[in-house]
Every structure is written in C-alpha cells, then in structure tokens.
Amino acid sequence: MEILSKMLYTSLYHYCQELTSHFSEIPEERKQTLKHLASHITNKINQEQDIHLVYICTHNSRRSFFGQVWAAVAAEFYGLSSIKTYSAGTEATLINPTAITTLLNVGYSISGDFSGDNPVYKVKYTDDLSVTCFSKTINHEKNPKKGFIAIMTCSEANESCPVVPGADLRISTPYEDPKQFDKTPVEKDQYEITSRKIALEILFTLSLLNT
C-alpha cells in the first residue's frame, strides 16, 4: 500500500518507514495469520464499515497498550481514517511506566493525569491526533460492544477468553511478555523489542489492505 500520511511526528514517520523495509523478519506462519486479519479488514472497508480494532491481553498494561497505539499510528501512516483502535485486559491494572517511556523514546508525545492507581494518558502522534489510554476491561464503556475485531496479544488472555462477545473476528497474535524482564538490566531493551515487533506486524498487516 502507498504511504499517504506525512502528518505523523517526524521521528515516528521515519521509524515506521524504516520498519516497512523489515517485513521479511516476520515468520511465514505468522504472516498467514496477519494476512487473514488483513483480509477481514479489507472486507469491512469494501462494505464501507468503520473498523474497530481491540487489542486484548491480561492486564492491559503493556502488549495491548502497544497494539492500540501502534495500530493508530499505522492507520495514519497509510491514510486509513476508517480504522479506530482500542485496548482491554481480562482485568484492569495500570499501564506500565516502562511501556510509556518506550513510546516516548520513539517520538510520541504523552501527557495526562499520572496520579492515582490507574493513570489516564493522552498519547499524541500528530499535532492533532491522539489516543486516550488507561487500563480497562473489554466491557468498559470506552470500548465498542459489537462488530469489532478482537486481537489477542497474549496466550493467557487467548486461553481465558475463548469467545469475545460482540467480536466479528477473534484472532490470536501472542507476544512475549516484557514484564518478565522488569527490574533487570535488560528491561528497557526488552520493552523496545516487544514494541518494535508489534509495530512491525501491524504495519505489515495494514500494508496489505486493498493490495
């Protein structure tokens, strides 16, 4: 798909542009899963439907948060205004601070109320576009109730939620949990690796639309 947007913050635009040259890193079996997802999205676009992508993991703290934000950026990168992104957990906790730092380091602008047990963040990726992020469950009022695509980003959530009520597609793309590296010398690197892999696979998926 042609790259249409240059509204992204410059560092994010170049980060996405660089990742598009690394699609060969994605294993073929994984690509088949992502192609299935892309086909479903394309069908909804052809029917002139809005696409609601809900990324789900156990705590809505790391992987599903990365999914929501990177999907919003990838949609802007490819000029896909009909795509809306969300995230959820099987339980609500809080967005991990290292996950926030990881996104700041690649060029997002993040602000909000950082107090309380479950801070609310405004994650900006252009001067005018942002996503509001905080940890929540799938049935939270901010999440869609029907006609959405549920993308399971961890094996635990995949197993505990064999059915996601209201989803017209439920697909599993699990990622290794960077939480296991918290408070270790490689914590920062592992969060960056997870964020990059999620961004890479989302960009690959959306690059297939209408192609």
CATH of the domain at 200: 3.40.50.2300
Residue 179 within a domain: yes
Amino acid at 56: I
Classify residue 150 by burial, with Cβ atoms within 10 Å: 0-12, 13-18, 19+.
Answer: buried
Residue 160 within a domain: yes
- Give the single-character DSSP code of 173: -
Classify residue 140 by burial, with Cβ atoms within 10 Å: 0-12, 13-18, 19+.
Answer: middle
Q: What DSSP line would sit under 79-138, residue for residue?
A: T-TTEEEEEEESS-----HHHHHHHHHHT-EEEEE--SSS-EEEEESSSS-EEEE---BT
Classify residue 204 by burial, with Cβ atoms within 10 Å: 0-12, 13-18, 19+.
Answer: buried
Asked if 145 and 153 touch (Cβ cutoff 8 Å), the reply is: no
Residue 2 within a domain: no
Q: Kindly state the helix (H) or strand (E) to which residue 156 belongs, with its residue range.
A: helix 155-160
**Which pLDDT score, from 0 to 100, does residue 160 have?**
60
| Side-chain-side CA neighbours of residue 50 (13 Å) | 9
What residues does 113 pair with on adjacent strands? 120
The tally of domains found in the chain comes to 1
Residue 91 within a domain: yes
Range of the domain at 123: 10-207
Q: In the structure encoding, which two tokens stand for residue 176, read together? A: 């290794």
Residue 4 within a domain: no
Tell me the pairing of strands 130-133 and 148-152. Answer: unpaired
Instruction: List, run by run, the mean pLDDT of 10-residue segments along the chain (211 residues).
Output: 74 97 97 98 94 96 97 96 95 95 97 87 96 96 96 76 85 94 97 98 94 51
